[in-house]
Chains A and B, each alone.
Chain A
């Protein structure tokens, strides 16, 4: 009965490749997020979707493209991977409104060689 799940957990790839990370939540939430956590452990918001509509789009290279086929799923596609993309990527979800706690997935550790 996993609440927020991500696949894959680990991703090792070469520079220049294209890869995707998938996220699913079964909490009935209407908002989903992608975060990047670097080696200093800072959580940086990248994107957020509410009911399939993009509501947060931070300054992220356009090599990163999120897609939300429905409100339970949010995928992240990364083109032309670079060394600096190596990080842990977390998906999270929440319900809109006051005190909208975000619940996180287990993370995807991306290593670009």
Chain B
């Protein structure tokens, strides 16, 4: 069964303290893996798409990487404005591949 597991559920960091969020997945063929950021009371905001193992994407303090079993979202020197829930989703190759499989998210709090 296709599945996405994110860890940790919640993470509290001090400003400037770098860390990584994990997204483990099992899927019958990966078409794409997506990272989103969701602020309270808002819709998920698209961050990155990764297609194949070894690929990396960067945006400001965020860097997403992908292996055959998991993806990491590395946050370098985070600031309080990086506080949000980070969601991971995968798009399988097989079946109805418009349907994304979502994780439960990691709630990140960055203290000043």
Size bracket, chain B contacts: 20 to 34
Contact of A106 among B43, B89, B91, B98 (CB under 8 A): B43
Q: Which residue of chain B has the shortest Cβ distance to A101 in the bound complex?
A: B46
Give how many A-B residue pairs fall within 8 Å (CB-CB).
57
User: Do B49 and A56 touch (CB < 8 A)?
Assistant: no
User: Do B98 and A50 touch (CB < 8 A)?
Assistant: yes
User: Do B98 and A96 touch (CB < 8 A)?
Assistant: yes
Q: Which of A91-106 contact B (CB under 8 A)?
A: 92, 94, 96, 98-106
B positions within 8 Å CB-CB of A? 31-32, 34, 36, 38, 41-46, 49, 51, 85, 87, 89, 91, 96, 98-100, 102, 104-105
A positions within 8 Å CB-CB of B? 4, 31, 40-43, 45, 48, 50, 55-56, 90, 92, 94, 96, 98-107
